[in-house]
Amino acid sequence: MTKKEQQQLGKTLWEIADNLRGAMNADDFRDYMLSFLFLRYLSANYEESAKKELGKDYPDNTPKDVMSKLKVSTPLEIWYTENSTDVEFFEKQMRRKIHYVIEPKYLWSNITEMARTHSGELLETLNKGFDYIENQSFGNAFQGLFSEINLNSEKLGKTHKDRNDKLCVIIQKISEGIKDFSTDSDTLGDAYEYLIGQFAAGSGKKAGEFYTPQQISSILSEIVTLDSQDPTTGPKNKLERVLDFASGSGSLLLNVRKRIIDNKGSVGKIYGQEKNITTYNLARMNMLLHGMKDTEFEIFHGDTLLNQWDELNEMNPAKKIEFDAIVANPPFSLRWEPNEAMAEDFRFKSYGLAPKSAADFAFLLHGFHFLSQNGTMAIILPHGVLFRGGAEERIRTKLLKDNNIDTVIGLPSNLFYSTGIPVCIIILKKCKKEDDVLFINASEHFEKGKRQNTLSEEHFEKIIDAYKYRNELPRYSRRVSMEEIANQGYNLNISRYVNTSREEEKIDLIEENKKMKIIDLEIEKFTNEHNKFLDELGLPRI
């Protein structure tokens, strides 16, 4: 399927969602829409895999009237019924090959048939199906996956019948809208990402909890997949581990993985951490919907600042888990309450604690602690971290003196759904080759939109080229020595080093005076000519 067709699928689904949600908030309806899309993907993948596994025994040529008589909506349900003694072995094989199973009655094909016939049992079947997927399909690896999906919510209808009828309409519309599109992971994955973006736009500031615009995600992904010592050589062949400790819906992680794989490389495993339960579930669905097996990723639900993930709490340096690439878009200037014990936390001990008023550097130091010696970290933060004083100045100074800050990129304002402020990308490395800092001031390079500004492919390429080759371009990018930065008090305010304003043109006063005299003479000449005409007409002179 072409990119255009993939985008069309996303637009088709968004139109359905926008028309069906009625008075429901975009972020409320999002959970239903995305969950049904997820169920459709799991079902299509399961049925296709089952067909391959069963071969000629798969009863896919069963006439529709026979299926109707047997009260089944999928050939797989016929096979389950006629081969009950073989089901256990079959499901064991399916778990080995695609890592999950779904009972036929919970497959999308059966759910859509129930919706088409307006079955009064649809709501109950969906509830049981979601519970089955959470607790049995993947073993117990995805418990709580649909915990935020309340099919009994009055937002769907006041009575059980109203809710059941509403679900019938929603599922029918989704089924009709996507029936002509491919069910492969790339297609549905892109549609899922498109919908997340559209729902983010409709959710306003709430979108900051889970969504990083694709063009910014692409910048971070491209940077961390390049060789940390020589970016000009291109992308790495392999990343063992990738981390996003504020993973939201997981799009940043998936973007990093896609860039490596598109360049014939591989990723060992991707790791994400997310505090918001709804967003955490979105991320887990997103991973699976993009064709990843449950063994290829790990998303943890917990507070990053408190470091609640046991896997990242290893005190023994020899056993500490490290990451080749780290990307993050944490909440901007989040207020936090560090306790006294945190001053001795292994993440912060060498630098000191970020102020209570802004946890920006706490997030940065958390990620930096787990960065491998040859890895690259790219984090999105507000501009305040570049110049604020106090504790932040002390942290910033140490990072600079240790030569860990590689590049600072200033982005245009109004790129995010959650805030209109301009932000920056800070790129960090533990073993940095250069002894300067590259500043890229891309704040004036964007395409203006009605609601949001965007970056074009040309803007993206200019940023990446400047980073890769450490280009110095007038009013855009510059390599700045540590001596100059020290002289500026370790202030990283981008405009101090890369001024985008154009130098005022120098005025030659003597030359300008000559021009004015010539103009005065011409005025006098034309005035005299004009007055002659007035004299001939007997009119008063001017």
pLDDT digits (tens, 9 = 90+) for 321-349: 999 999 999 999 999 999 888 999 999 99
CATH of the domain at 403: 3.40.50.150
Predicted confidence at residue 131, as pLDDT, reads 95
Question: Would you say residue 477 lies in a domain?
Answer: no
Judgement on whether residues 172 and 87 belong to the same structural domain of the protein = yes
Judgement on whether residues 128 and 268 belong to the same structural domain of the protein = no
Predicted confidence at residue 208, as pLDDT, reads 44
pLDDT at 264 over 60: yes
Judgement on whether residues 259 and 373 belong to the same structural domain of the protein = yes
Domain endpoint, select from 184, 204, 224: 204
Judgement on whether residues 130 and 100 belong to the same structural domain of the protein = yes
Question: Would you say residue 348 lies in a domain?
Answer: yes
Which residues contact residue 449 at a Cβ distance below 8 angstroms, ignoring those fewer than 6 apart?
Answer: none
Judgement on whether residues 324 and 412 belong to the same structural domain of the protein = yes
Q: Is 387 helix (H, G, I), strand (E, B) or coil?
A: coil
Judgement on whether residues 200 and 232 belong to the same structural domain of the protein = no
Kindly state the percentage of the chain with pLDDT values over 70. 93
Average pLDDT over residues 413-422: 78
DSSP line for 345-371:
-TTTTTT-PPPTT--HHHHHHHHHHTE
Average pLDDT over residues 140-161: 89
- pLDDT band (50, 70, 90) for residue 490: very high
Question: Would you say residue 459 lies in a domain?
Answer: no
Question: Would you say residue 476 lies in a domain?
Answer: no
Look over the chain and give the mean of its residue pLDDT values, rounded to a whole number. 88
Question: Would you say residue 349 lies in a domain?
Answer: yes
pLDDT at 538 over 90: no
Predicted confidence at residue 329, as pLDDT, reads 94
Judgement on whether residues 105 and 227 belong to the same structural domain of the protein = no
Predicted confidence at residue 502, as pLDDT, reads 60
Which among 101-105, 148-152, 287-291 has the top mean pLDDT? 101-105
The larger pLDDT score, comparing residue 419 to residue 245, is at: 245
Question: Would you say residue 106 lies in a domain?
Answer: yes
Judgement on whether residues 105 and 131 belong to the same structural domain of the protein = yes
Report the first-to-last Cα separation within the chain, whole angstroms.
77
- pLDDT band (50, 70, 90) for residue 529: confident
Domain endpoint, select from 204, 222, 239: 204
Query: Rounded to an integer, what distance in angstroms lies between the CA atom of residue 489 and that of residue 496?
Result: 12
Domain endpoint, select from 187, 204, 221: 204
Q: Report yes or no: 488 and 391 within 8 Å, Cβ to Cβ.
A: no
Question: Would you say residue 467 lies in a domain?
Answer: no
Lowest mean pLDDT among 198-212, 230-244, 298-312, 407-421: 198-212
Judgement on whether residues 356 and 379 belong to the same structural domain of the protein = yes
Number of domains the chain contains? 3
Lowest mean pLDDT among 302-316, 357-371, 508-522: 508-522
Judgement on whether residues 118 and 65 belong to the same structural domain of the protein = yes
Predicted confidence at residue 15, as pLDDT, reads 81
Predicted confidence at residue 325, as pLDDT, reads 97
Q: Which domain holds residue 168?
A: 3-204
The larger pLDDT score, comparing residue 504 to residue 381, is at: 381
Judgement on whether residues 64 and 124 belong to the same structural domain of the protein = yes
- pLDDT band (50, 70, 90) for residue 402: very high
Question: Would you say residue 360 lies in a domain?
Answer: yes
Among 168, 158, 142, CA closest to 38: 142
Which among 138-142, 415-419, 486-490 has the top mean pLDDT? 486-490
pLDDT at 2 over 60: no
Judgement on whether residues 194 and 149 belong to the same structural domain of the protein = yes
- Give Dmax (Cα) for the chain: 120
pLDDT at 41 over 80: yes
pLDDT at 306 over 80: yes
- pLDDT band (50, 70, 90) for residue 182: low
Predicted confidence at residue 287, as pLDDT, reads 92
CATH of the domain at 117: 1.20.1260.30
Q: Report yes or no: 441 and 477 within 8 Å, Cβ to Cβ.
A: yes
The larger pLDDT score, comparing residue 341 to residue 482, is at: 482
